[in-house]
Structure 1
Amino acid sequence: MTAAIFRGKRRRAAAAVGAVAFGLVALSACEKPTPLATVTVGSTTVTTEAACYEEGQKLTESALAKCLADESVKTVKVQPGDKVRVGVDPKMADQNWFVVSNGQRQTSQLKQTYTSLDGEQLFVNRMAQRLDKTAMMSVITKDGVWSVKLELDN
């Protein structure tokens, strides 16, 4: 009987060691989460992680272009007259940020964690002198890009 108890304790100990080892491997595979950007239109809020993020390192021009081209992002509908509210993590605000919509800069360098934009202006395509039906809006810092797709819902 004591041999059976001893074997049971060994199995439990081996299982515990295996669980701890698995947990350590799983934790080492985790990445540190990126700061978040939040976009609110009316009662709809979307929170997004960075499409690209190199904490503390400046994004290269090619990396920035690649990040801005990523269209696998969340979508928010915008009605004419809506305000688009953008909030950023304080870590992003500390290093300055700005908003771009369809490749056109919409704000100057911002230091606060929040700004409000005229929704319709985000759809204006100045180059083609028209109002687009969709707009890719991005929050840009020196080390990251956060994007959402806006759809004009009229």
Structure 2
Amino acid sequence: MTTLQSVVRRRRAVAVAGAVSAGLLVLSACDKPSPVATITVGGDSVNSEALCYNDGKALDADSLKDCLKNADHAKSIKVGQDETVRIGVDPKIAEAGWIVLVNGRPFSDLSKETYRTIPNGAFFQEQYGTGGTTNTLAIQMGDKTKKGFWSFKLKKA
């Protein structure tokens, strides 16, 4: 092997090592994504990371206040008259327990399942306080100790 070939190989090895190191550095600088929640109605679905999430630890009052301001930017999905709303959550959310809030009010008991359904009849009804054409469906991770919030807009189709 000539000296020139040896130099070229060393340069390639250094370049590859540098590229791998740079890639690992970029990945280590990224925040871990929050768990995802998904709403499915018929064949349509929307999913979202948390409005606020502290890696599964309790959120303080200031964090909650700030995060709920972002609820206006929630993803929306249309709900037809005879359709069922299906809610799926990441296993991390289920492990901590979660409840469904509709328009800010508790709508379900604490669940440790990753999936649940709510019939359309529960939405867009004055008697349930969900009248009108749009309702906010939120998922709260944790019961008394709030650990995260996900928010969606349900629009009457």
Q: Same fold (TM over 0.5)?
A: yes
TM-score for the superposition, normalised by structure 1 = 0.83
Indicate conservation of the 8 Å contact 1:136/1:149, yes or no: yes
Structure 2 counterpart of 1:148, from 130, 152, 155: 152
Between the two proteins, the alignment pairs up a number of residues equal to: 152
Taking structure 2 as the reference length, what is the TM-score of the superposition? 0.81
How far the C-alpha of 1:126 sits from its partner, in A, is 7.2
Going from structure 1 to structure 2, the CA distance change for 1:125 and 1:50 (only over 3 Å counts) comes to farther
> Which stretch of structure 1 is more off in the superposition, 111-120 or 34-43?
111-120
- Tell me what 1:75 maps to: 76
Offset at residue 125 of structure 1 (A): 6.5
1:133 — aligned with what? 133
Structure 2 runs not aligned, ≥5 long: none
**Contact 1:46–1:76 under 8 Å retained in 2:** yes
CA apart distance, 1:147: 1.5
Asked whether the equivalents of residues 56 and 148 of structure 2 are also in contact (C-alpha less than 8 Å), the reply is no
CA contact (8 A) 2:90 2:114 kept: yes
Whichever residue aligns with residue 18 of structure 1, its letter is G
Moved more, 133-142 or 9-18: 9-18
Q: Provide structure 1 residue ranges, at least 5 long, that are not aligned to the other structure.
A: none
Matches within 5 A, 1:49-68: 49-68=49-68
Residues 4-62 of structure 1, C-alpha deviations (whole Å, 9 max, x = no match): 32331232122112212211211212232322212111121222211211123111233
Matches of 1:66 and 1:136 in 2, distance apart? 17
CA contact (8 A) 1:98 1:106 kept: yes
Quick one: distance in 1 between partners of 2:57 and 2:67? 15
Partner in structure 2 of residue 33 of structure 1: 33
- Mean CA deviation greater in 101-110 or 66-75: 66-75
Question: What whole-Å deviation, never above 9, does each CA across 1:95-141 have from its counterpart, x for those lacking one?
Answer: 221111221221122222222113353345779x6722222211001
Q: Which residue of 2 aligns with 1:106?
A: 107
Aligned pair in 2 of structure 1 residues 68, 123: CA closer, same or farther (>3 Å)? farther
Name the aligned partner's letter for residue 136 of structure 1: T
Find the residue that maps to 1:131 and give its secondary structure.
coil
Corresponding residue SS for 2:81: coil
Q: d(CA) in 1 for partners of 2:38 and 2:18?
A: 40
Instruction: Give the secondary structure class of the aligned counterpart of 2:73.
Output: coil
